[in-house]
Structure 1
Amino acid sequence: MNESFRAFLSLTALLALSACSTPESAAAPASTPEVGVITASSTEVPVESELRGRIEASRTAEVRARVTGVILERVFEEGDMVEKGEVLFRIDPAPMKAALAQARAQVGVAEANLEIAKLTAARLEPLVGTKAVSGQTYDDAVAAVAQSEAALEVAQAAVKTAKLDLDYATVRAPISGRIGRTLVTEGALVTATEHTSLATIVQLDPVYVNLTVPVTQIRSLREAQTKGSVHATGEQAEITIFESDGWTYPHVGTLLFTDVTVEPKTGNTLLRATVPNPDQELLPGMYVRARVGGATTEQAVTLPQQAVQRDAAGSSVYVVNAGKAERRAVEVSRSMGNQWVVNSGVEDGELVVVDGFQSIRPGADVNTVAWQPKGEAAPTEVAQADTSKPGTDSASDEAEQGEQADAEQGEQADAEQGDAEQAEQAKQAAGAKQDAKASTEAKGGR
């Protein structure tokens, strides 16, 4: 009975000790999260608009036949650069030469008729005074002289026309530029009346960029200029052509004018700019994106894109105030490189969280360190303010790293707790064994 009671007491003590033992790691206080911050500051920010449009040649000329005839020769090579006045086609000149010879003969006939009319009038003039001829006869002779002079002028004009037709038989380039494919071949009959197109020449340096922009955007910019919040940086606005893959056209263009009409269906108007194109990279009909600048705002705050959080409620940032994290709504207008332009919500001198915000919550205590951007090139693609979600990639990476660290710490704590429990159990088992041995010895003594 005593042995059973003592064994029961030993087992009860063992269980009590196991229940009361707690791992040291469970009592350790949680550490204050550390976040990377920057100090917000206002600066002049360029006012830029991203527009879309198409390339148009600055000059386009269709080469047409000005006389009727058969093409004898094509002088140029398709795709070549041609100069104004350069020979392109030769039309059979035989009919034009014959017409010129005929016109010159008509001049000779007109000159002869004029000479006869003058002599006749000169003979009749003294006879009128003696009444040898009637006045009517003399008047007819004078009129014949005038008619002969007019006929001579007509014949001379016909000669000029024939010379022009003969000259038009040699088709020349009306402008300088690049000539496209030929639309006729040797032996083809071309006519002046049908306006047959022989080829097309386009001038590609410079080129025009026709951009579409909402009228409301132009009105807003003008109102901002009137209020003084936006001011021009030069006499002409500059445009830069770029693509979403990071390519930027090396030559900067200038804005020429804004169209005076508005498209009724879209509410857009046309902006035309001229862009140098010495290497002829830009071709007519190309669809391009352009960044139009030429103005700056008075002051605005710019923040790294990863510092701004976007959700269904809008844009927000974490601001550190007196060592505590404060979530604040901000108004983001547009992007500039890898920065967001913040119109309101953040003041100069405030500390804005850029890194580590995934481990904090509003009102939590935080430790701040100066944030340094990673040694990577800034993205060349300009993000759209209504579709991008800045900071998502870095936040995801840091969250994964935090979860991995927490898992490792948990595994280590579990291991330490398991070791402590095993040691305690071994100690208690040894004590129970000693108690059992003492009980056996006592029984043997009795």
Structure 2
Amino acid sequence: MKHNYIYWLAPIIILTWSACGNKQPQAGPPPATPVNVTEAKKAESVYYDSYQGIVVALNNVELRSQVPGFITGIFFKEGEVVQKGKALYEIDRRKYLAAYQQAQANVLSAKANLVKAQKDIDRYNMLLKNDAIARQTVDQALAAFETSKGQVAVAVAALESARTDLSYATITAPFTGRIGISQVRLGSQVSSGTTLLNTISTENPIGIDVVINEQDIERFYKLQSSTNDTTFKLKLSNGSMYDKPGKIVAIDRGVNNQTGSIKVRVQFTNDKDVLRDGMSGVLQVLNNQSGDRILIPYKSVTEQMGEFFVFTAKDTIALQKKVVLGPRIQDKVIVMDGLEVGDKVITEGFQRLRDSGKITLGPPPGQAAPEMKKGAGK
């Protein structure tokens, strides 16, 4: 019985000795993470809000004939700038010239009848004084005189109508502008008010139309009186910046109740014909929060669930801070809220950090300091 107890306890003693002999020391706290930092500083920050827009002519007219007929003359080169009053198209004038000449003749005839009626009245009045004519005859002469006056008025009105139709047979430029490609050719038949002949538009100055949110209306009304040449800039579709400043010339009368937006037109000088009607561009509007702002490297910012954070160094501790960002300016970004001037922002090594984690200043593992790199190249 005694031997059985010895056999039973022996394995337990051996296992206990093995466990005590193989016991490992507990791991200590994780080592401090090497990081690089930069100081948050204020700097002059000028930035712009961008609005997609379309270049529009400030004056644009579709040319249509006001009388029917056939095109008998085209007096311009397509795509050229035409001066106000220049003859552009001619519609067969023969019918309208004949009608005008006939109207002139009708006026002369009506005036002759009026003169005759006036002379009849004068003669009949003299006879009436001597009782040599009936009163009824004098009254008839007076009525004929009034009728002749009416006929003269009708003839004069018809003459003006004929003169107008004759003038419509020659279509002239309503203002100085660039004319497009003709939609009709010599011999084409045109209808009154329906056939599009061409389009003419002004080019200098020219505008760009943008659509803004109704919350920005008050801001743009204030900008309408701005005299700052840097308030409005235009970025062309090829990425280059237009070299002339702009100014607001019109804000639409009302807000679109379906989209909650309103149209704004900004005018630019276009003396070099760089801008053309229908071009696209980006209107850049000076942000009213431009000024002295905190700038930090953009690479120091992390995003989590649509929110932005940075790590700052406090002695040997890394603190995570939520920040509100403004526009990005090259490799830096404006911080609107969340940082103070002088905060030590961690720019490298923060990928392995947690809030309140231990840090030490220096390059992250596997990255040599700038001085070491410089020495290695010698």
Cα distance, 1:327 vs. partner? 2.5
For 2:163, the aligned partner's letter is K
- SS of equivalent to 1:289: strand
Name the residue aligned to 1:168: 168
Cα contact 1:305–1:340 (8 A) shared by 2? yes
2:325 to 316, 332, 350: 332
User: What is the alpha-carbon distance in structure 2 between the residues aligned to residue 90 and residue 245 of structure 1?
Assistant: 41
Select the residue among 249, 252, 264 that pairs with 1:256.
Answer: 249
Candidates 258, 273, 280, aligned match of 1:280: 273
Which residue of structure 1 aligns with residue 226 of structure 2? 234
Residues 364/295 of structure 1: CA separation in 2 closer, same or farther (3 Å cut):
same
Structure 1 residues 74 and 356, CA gap change in structure 2 (3 angstroms): same
Tell me by how many angstroms 1:251 deviates: 2.4
Match of 1:366 in 2: 360
Shift of the alpha carbon at 1:34?
5.2
1:292-330: CA deviation from partner (whole Å, max 9, x where unpaired): 126345653222322222232621122222354332221
Deviation at 1:120, TM superposition (A): 0.8
Distance (Å, rounded) in 1 between the aligned partners of 2:226 and 2:329: 20
Unaligned runs of 5+ in 2: 1-30, 369-378
Q: 1:234 to 1:111 in 2, by over 3 A?
A: closer
CA distance in 1, matches of 2:272, 2:103: 49
Unaligned runs of 5+ in 1: 1-29, 226-230, 370-398, 406-446
Corresponding residue SS for 2:85: coil
Matched-pair contact (CA < 8 Å) for 1:61–1:175: no
Residues 63-107 of structure 1 show CA distances to partners (whole Å, capped at 9, x for unaligned) of: 122333221121212212211111211222211221122112112
Q: Describe the shift of the 1:156–1:79 C-alpha distance in structure 2 as closer, same or farther (beyond 3 A).
A: same
Name the CA shift for 1:89/1:172 in 2 (closer, same or farther; >3 Å): same
Q: What's the TM-score, normalizing by structure 2?
A: 0.77
1:170-202 CA-partner distances (Å, limit 9, x unpaired): 22111222211111111122233x432211112
Q: 1:352 to 1:233 in 2, by over 3 A?
A: farther
1:210 and 2:203 aligned: no
Match of 2:260 in 1: 267
SS class of match (2:242): coil
Compute the displacement of 1:32 (Å): 7.3
Distance 1:233 1:172, change over 3 A: closer
- Report the Cα distance in structure 2 between the residues aligned to 1:97 and 1:245, rounded to whole angstroms: 53
Kindly state the Cα deviation for residue 46 of structure 1 after the two structures are TM-superposed: 4.3
Between the aligned partners of 1:331 and 1:72, the Cα distance in structure 2 is 69
Q: State the Cα distance separating 1:113 from its structure 2 match.
A: 0.8
| Higher RCO (CA < 8 A, seq sep 6+) | 2
CA contact (8 A) 1:65 1:190 kept: yes
Query: How do 1:103-122 residues align onto structure 2 when only pairs under 5 Å count?
Result: 103-122=103-122
Shift of the 265–108 alpha-carbon distance from structure 1 to 2, 3 Å rule, reads closer
Q: Using the alignment, how far apart are the partners of 1:188 and 1:124 within structure 2? A: 59
- Kept in 1, the 8 Å contact 2:237–2:281? The answer is no
Taking structure 1 as the reference length, the TM-score comes to 0.66
Cα distance in structure 1, aligned partners of 2:318 and 2:207: 52
- The aligned length equals 336
How does 1:30-429 map onto structure 2 within 5 Å? 33=34, 35-37=36-38, 39-43=39-43, 45-46=45-46, 48-192=48-192, 194-218=193-217, 234-235=226-227, 238-242=231-235, 246-293=239-286, 295-296=288-289, 299-312=292-305, 314-358=307-351, 362-367=356-361, 403=366
Partner Cα distance (1:277, 1:366) in 2: 58
8 Å CA contact retained: 1:233, 1:296: no
